[in-house]
Structure 1
């Protein structure tokens, strides 16, 4: 198998793979990835909502160097899109009146009744 094939990666080179073939990201991988993303954005490798070819290549190589794991471009792109969606969801939640955030614990603060309502509204949409 060619490790450079962007859709294939030796499974034993990754931390963990689920039964359906998805990569399990541990906290250190996510933290390393976010730091690399910030660096590549500052270098101008992110335009029009995505990374350019050089940016993706550097992200793949950076993750390999920092984690020792051979993530593919597709795996990194999927994680990037998931992190972006999570960020948008959190920003939307925090924009609501009465919602707080504890940066020390990384937890949203909200009265239990409000949680129940938000969960109900979210599940209906």
Structure 2
């Protein structure tokens, strides 16, 4: 987690809080921070407790230089959780598919893709 990115790329939404912009590196950093907070026991239920969120916001800013607030980070958590559930469902309910680690994409035969397109 020693990576530091001081770029503060955000999009301003109507003069209010800037929209959080995520790339693969930021998502990886965020996930590492979240895993550590879970390991500390700062997640009771489906989300972090008050201490957990304070830590996540603070450490994320320290590492990335981005001043994302709890709401922005929670929105990302919710989005990642939805993606994870979809991915898990796909992997456990389907046969003949996998992950191409080089491309970071779903690896499936053409027949599988065609069946999904037909649906």
Match of 1:103 among 101, 104, 108: 101
TM-score (norm 1): 0.77
Structure 1 pair 50–114 and aligned structure 2 pair: CA distance change class (3 A): same
Structure 1 pair 38–19 and aligned structure 2 pair: CA distance change class (3 A): same
Aligned residue in 2 for 1:85: 82
Asked if the contact 1:101/1:107 (under 8 Å) is kept, the reply is: yes
Structure 1: unaligned runs, 5 residues or longer:
1-12
CA–CA separation in structure 1 for the residues paired with 2:36 and 2:87:
23
CA–CA separation in structure 1 for the residues paired with 2:10 and 2:117:
30
Match of 2:35 among 35, 38, 44: 38
Aligned residue in 2 for 1:15: 9
Aligned residue in 1 for 2:53: 56
CA–CA separation in structure 2 for the residues paired with 1:88 and 1:119:
21
Deviation, structure 1 residue 80: 0.5
Deviation, structure 1 residue 63: 0.7
Structure 2: unaligned runs, 5 residues or longer:
1-6
Aligned residue in 1 for 2:65: 68
Root-mean-square deviation (CA), in Å? Answer: 2.1
